[in-house]
Structure formats: C-alpha cells, structure tokens
Copies of this chain bind each other. A is one copy, B any other.
Amino acid sequence: MDYTLEKTAAADHALFPLLVRRWSPNAFSPEPVDRETLATVFEAARWSASCSNDQPWFYLVATRDDAAAFETMLGCLEDGNIKWAKTAPVLAIGVARLTFERNGKPNRWGYYDLGQSAAYLTVQAMSMGLWVHQMGGFYPEKVREVYGVPEGYDPVAAIAIGKMGDPSVLPGYLTERHNGPRSGRKPLREFVFTGRWGEAAF
C-alpha cells in the first residue's frame, strides 16, 4: 500500500518537481530501506559542496533491522519526536566538525556545510521514493555520550528516512499534523534583498 501524501508547495515560481513535492511527513512506513539505497542516500551527502572541500559532515545511522541499535538512537530523541519517528525504518544523526581537518582552526562553515549535505541527502532520498523528516528535538549530549562523539564535533540534527506510512496509527494530533496543510513560507520580498538590507529584490 502506498501511503504517499502529496503536499505541493504553494510556490510563486515554478520549482523543480522534486523540490515542490518535498515536505516532512510524520507517518513513516516501517518497510526497510535496502542497504544499497541507503548507501546512495549518504553518497549524495558525500558529494555536497563545502568550504575548501573540508567535508565537515558526519552521520550516525541506525536501521530498524537492528532493533537494539534502533532503540538506542530512538532514545536520544525528545519524547514528542519518538512518538512518530519510532515507525521509521531508518534514523540518523547529522554531526558537524567545527574545525578544519587540514589545520585544526575553527570552521565557521561546519554547520552550514552539514546542512547542505543533509539537503542533498534529502533530494537523493526523494528521487528514490523516500521521504525525510529532520528534527532539532533530540539530546546532543546523550548522543555524544552514547556514541562517543569526540570534542570538536557537534550533533546537530536527527533525521528520519523512509517511505510514508499509515498516519492513522499515530496519536491523533500527529495524524492531523501529517494530514494537514503544508506549512507556509515568508515571501521572497522578506528575505531576498538588493542594495540594502530590507529592500526587496523581487
């Protein structure tokens, strides 16, 4: 059964189909993601751009087929996210390196470049029929402790990956969130400026 729910972005300009379709579902199918498909998702993160090609992105990953490992990662999420993320077949946590590998100096693009790689990961996943929901609601210090994340690396985002699933198995407010309208966006005039901060470019 295909539970894919389309929520086309109410875009003011005609977007590339994959981008106009993207949203962050709450209902995931537990159906496993095969190993090659999952590797390809991270391969997309691998080929992202980064400042000086430093590649400051790292990912911890847990799949449902290893129940203990999956529970361990699930236990690093905030309760509100556990409620829905527990149905996903794959969980991951994106970790940024905060110094340049080549010289150990602070890398002010560590978070930025991790974010880019997560976006490419998402595009790749969607191109293969998967969906992605990122979460800020998790416990970075618990992740550090549980997985032995070294100093100088910061766990930034938890990520659920999988096909969409049956929203009726979720608590009611999450079913509603999943089935409800896609969240809106501020218009271009409020964030693309020209000449001077605040002067709309479009």
Mask, A90-116, CB within 8 Å of B = 1, is 000000100000000000111111111
- Residues on the B chain within 8 Å of A40, using CB: 13-15
Q: How many residues of A contact B (CB 8 A)?
A: 76
The 8 Å CB contact of A116, one of B20, B55, B115, is B115
Task: Report A95 CB to chain B, min CB distance, Å.
Answer: 8
- Residues on the B chain within 8 Å of A192, using CB: 42, 58-59, 61
The 8 Å CB contact of A43, one of B109, B115, B188, is B188
Enumerate chain A interface residues (CB-CB to B < 8 A). 9, 11-16, 18-20, 22, 24, 35-36, 38-40, 42-44, 46-49, 51-53, 55, 57-62, 69, 96, 108-120, 122-124, 127, 134, 136, 147-150, 156-157, 183, 185-188, 191-198, 201-202
